Each structure stands twice: as structure tokens, then as C-alpha cells.
């Protein structure tokens, strides 16, 4: 395989410029792209699922396609979805701590 050049990353680089132009008001994500997946732009958001949702809505990605999972021994919630924008494949990922469940108080009417 021939080594890729910077010009092979035109799709995600262009998409990033367009994202900045259209959505500069949204929270700044971590941005990744690499020559292994030259058409993919990965946007990741940490500790703020509201920011993930704002980006998902802005990119017009169907919420039914979001994949939920837990990692880090059950401590981290991960949301991941794929879409397309400005000729790039977009991978949007959100990470947040799993909220702790509050214990049910005795006599609160909870069914055992």
C-alpha cells in the first residue's frame, strides 16, 4: 500500500472547515482524523451528553441510530453514532460518567 498524503484527508478536513462555519456556536469537540480511515472525521465529547445531543441534532442524525454502551468497568456511558456531512463520514461519540442510582428508602412504596 502506498503511503497516504495530506491530500487524501481532504474530505474530513473540508468537513471540519464547514462545521466551523456553520456550527461555531456549539461546544468544541475533540477532533480526530487519520489516514487509516481517510474519509472519516471523528468528533468526541467528554462529560457532557447535552453537547453530544446538540451535535447530533445539528448534523441531522437520526436518534434511533445512536448506539449505547458502558465501558470502564461500568463507570462510563458511551454514545456513538455515524452520519455524513460535507462529503465526510462523521463518527460522533459522547462519553459521560454513569449516574449512580440512588438507594430506595425503606417505606417509600418501592416494591421488592
> Position of cell 461500568?
74
Q: Determine which helix (DSSP H) or strand (DSSP E) holds 71, and give its type and residue range.
A: strand 67-71
CA 96 to each of CA 24, 25, 48, 54, 102: distance values in angstroms, whole numbers, following the listed order: 23, 21, 6, 15, 18
pLDDT at 39 exceeding the cut of 70: yes
The DSSP symbol for 7 reads: G
**pLDDT-based confidence at residue 112 (cuts at 50, 70, 90):** very low
Q: How far apart are the first and last CA of the chain?
A: 61
Global confidence as pTM: 0.84
Domain ranges of the chain: 30-97
Amino acid at each position: 500500500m502506498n503511503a497516504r498524503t495530506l491530500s487524501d484527508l481532504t474530505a474530513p478536513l473540508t468537513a471540519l472547515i464547514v462545521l466551523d462555519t456553520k456550527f461555531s456556536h456549539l461546544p468544541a469537540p475533540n477532533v480526530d482524523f487519520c489516514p487509516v480511515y481517510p474519509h472519516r472525521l471523528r468528533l468526541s465529547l467528554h462529560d457532557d451528553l447535552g453537547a453530544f445531543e446538540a451535535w447530533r441534532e445539528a448534523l441531522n442524525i437520526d436518534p434511533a441510530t445512536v448506539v449505547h454502551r458502558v465501558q470502564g468497568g461500568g463507570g462510563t456511558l458511551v454514545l456513538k453514532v455515524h452520519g455524513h456531512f460535507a462529503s465526510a463520514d462523521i463518527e460522533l461519540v459522547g462519553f459521560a460518567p454513569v449516574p449512580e442510582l440512588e438507594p430506595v428508602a425503606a417505606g417509600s412504596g418501592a416494591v421488592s
